[in-house]
Amino acid sequence: MAPLVGYFVLVFTITWGVGAVCLFAPKVAKSIAPGPALTNPLFYVAVYAPTIAALILTAYFGGGIGLRKLLARLIPWRAGLRWYLAILVGFPLVGLLAGRVAGLFGAAQGHVPNWAHFYYALIPALVIDPGPLGEELGWRGFALPRMLERWPPLTSSLILGLIWGAWHLPAFFIVGLPQNRLAIPALLLATMGISVIDTWIFLRTEGSLLPMILVHLMTNHCAKLLGISFATSVAAGAVCVLVVVLAGGLRVAPLARAKAIAS
């Protein structure tokens, strides 16, 4: 339990510490880099805190062997091709269907994109958006397997999703960050839903991290590229979570695998 508690303490200390500087000492933040919050190096330190903490604590508790095992989970072929297709094709198709349903109630129904442009736009998004690479090595790389050792998959998913959402809290109060325009309860619902989907994929890909990074990327950018609202995206995610849970996708925790991944 010590590595897990230490991980969350370190992550929140880094991110909320940076957030406190930006909120209560804005002159200090601007002295580092003037201009929008998204261009300030402190922003990247805050977002990369989950990965930074994961690397530090993995090295501390597992040494070089632990680090190699963690980084090996980024190897693409750990997960089958069907999972990449499910993420890269499934997310936009579900989004388009959700948009059509939302359109019946007067919400933005989105549009069928030029698919070549859609997937091309994801490449710079992965570079510009620090979230997928800055977070998933920590949330799903370090924390999730250790949580699966102690709690069932659904419980682990919901707890981690709630913590993940709460970790974003400073961003709601910093002008210029994407979360500043969102409602806190909506983001918490979104992170808990995505956490369930992540765990479902995680358990079936031997803890592979590249699918987790792609899920994060699609979560952040798919709705925007399709022209559907955040609320529609959250509702679609909730329906997908319900399907996964009712179909038994999280029924059994492979405890031995979780221990092997975490060790």
- Structure confidence by residue, pLDDT tens digits, 45-83: 999 999 999 999 999 999 999 999 999 999 988 888 999
Q: Radius of gyration of the chain from Cα atoms?
A: 18
> Which position has the higher pLDDT, 27 or 65?
65
Mean pLDDT for all residues in the chain: 90
Higher pLDDT among residues 165 and 32, named by residue: 165
Using a cut of 0.75, tell me whether the model's pTM lies above it. yes
Q: How many CB atoms lie within 10 A of CB 158?
A: 18
Q: Which tokens is 43 given?
A: 């922003």
Q: Which one, of 263, 64, 241, lies nearest residue 148 by Cα?
A: 263
> Which range (74-78, 168-172, 240-244) has the least confidence?
74-78
Over residues 11-40, mean pLDDT: 85
Residue 259: which pLDDT band, with cuts at 50, 70 and 90?
Answer: low
pLDDT in tens, 84-136: 999 999 999 999 999 999 888 877 788 888 999 999 999 999 989 999 999 99
Give the model's confidence band at 209: pLDDT under 50 very low, under 70 low, under 90 confident, else very high.
very high
Give dist(CA 168, CA 166) in Å, integer. Answer: 5
> Which pLDDT belongs to residue 252?
64
List CB contacts of 153: < 8 A, sequence separation 6 or more: 199, 200, 203, 250, 251, 252, 253
| pLDDT score at 257 | 55
Confidence of residue 1 (pLDDT cuts 50, 70, 90): confident
pLDDT at 262: 55
Place 30 in a pLDDT band, splitting at 50, 70 and 90: confident
| Residue 195 reports pLDDT greater than 90 | yes
- For residues 134 and 179, the model is more confident at 134
Domain ranges for the chain, please list them: 2-262
What's the confidence (pLDDT) of residue 254?
Answer: 52
Query: How much of the chain exceeds pLDDT 70, in percent?
Result: 95
d(CA 247, CA 263): 30
The larger pLDDT score, comparing residue 179 to residue 218, is at 218
pLDDT at 86: 95
3-state secondary structure 15-36: HHHHHHHHHHCHHHHHHHCCCC
Report percent pLDDT > 90 for the chain. Answer: 71
What does the pLDDT read at residue 263? 54
